[in-house]
A = this chain, B = another copy of it.
Amino acid sequence: MPETDLAGPKITLEEFQELAWEGVPYVGQLGPEVLRFEAGEIAVLLPYREILLRPGGTICGPAMMALADIALYGLVLSMIGRAPLAVTTDMTVHFLTRPKPGAVVAEGRLLKLGRRLAVGDVLIHSEHDDRPVCHVTGTYAIPPDFG
């Protein structure tokens, strides 16, 4: 893995949260909570709400994809600083098992930090159960001044 920066993340948690929750209200409305925020490491909890359900009584895929995408955003900004225009270029999601209704947690790690692209992956699990329910790999394009 790319070495994480001992000096800590290049954006504060407060700045990231403002960018993410106010900047992307379709995700922010869900009230995610950042549990861990280090340079190159992140954990974000999605609280349970009825709006997250899908047939079968499980958390819907789009909510988990939104959670993973925002976790990757935080992961990248933790390494490059306040770059709101960093954008996802691709994301691949595997839904592994159906989580029970309840909060889920996304844990992200950085796989690559280049000048132009950053790649990370995310495992999502239920709050009190470590078994993965969803795996995501994604790429972010880094704006020219931040690479």
Q: Which residues of A contact B (CB under 8 A)?
A: 1-2, 19, 23-27, 29, 50-56, 60-63, 65-66, 69-70, 84-85, 87-98, 111-112, 114, 116-117, 119, 121, 131-132, 135, 137, 139, 141
Question: Which has the most chain B C-beta neighbours within 10 Å: A51, A53, A60?
Answer: A60
Bound: A104/B96 CA distance, A? 28
List 14 additional contacts besides A88-B95, A96-B119; criterion CB under 8 Å: A23-B54, A25-B50, A25-B51, A26-B51, A27-B62, A56-B84, A56-B87, A62-B69, A65-B65, A87-B98, A94-B139, A96-B111, A97-B112, A116-B116
Q: Are B56 and A85 in contact (CB under 8 A)?
A: yes
8 contacts between A and B (CB under 8 A): A1-B132, A23-B54, A26-B62, A56-B87, A62-B65, A88-B95, A90-B93, A94-B112
In the assembled complex, the Cα of A66 lies from the Cα of B66 at a distance in Å of 8
Query: In the complex, A143→B21 CA distance in Å?
Result: 35
Task: Given the known inter-chain contacts A51-B29, A84-B56, A96-B119, please indicate yes or no for A112 contacting B90, CB distance below 8 A.
Answer: no
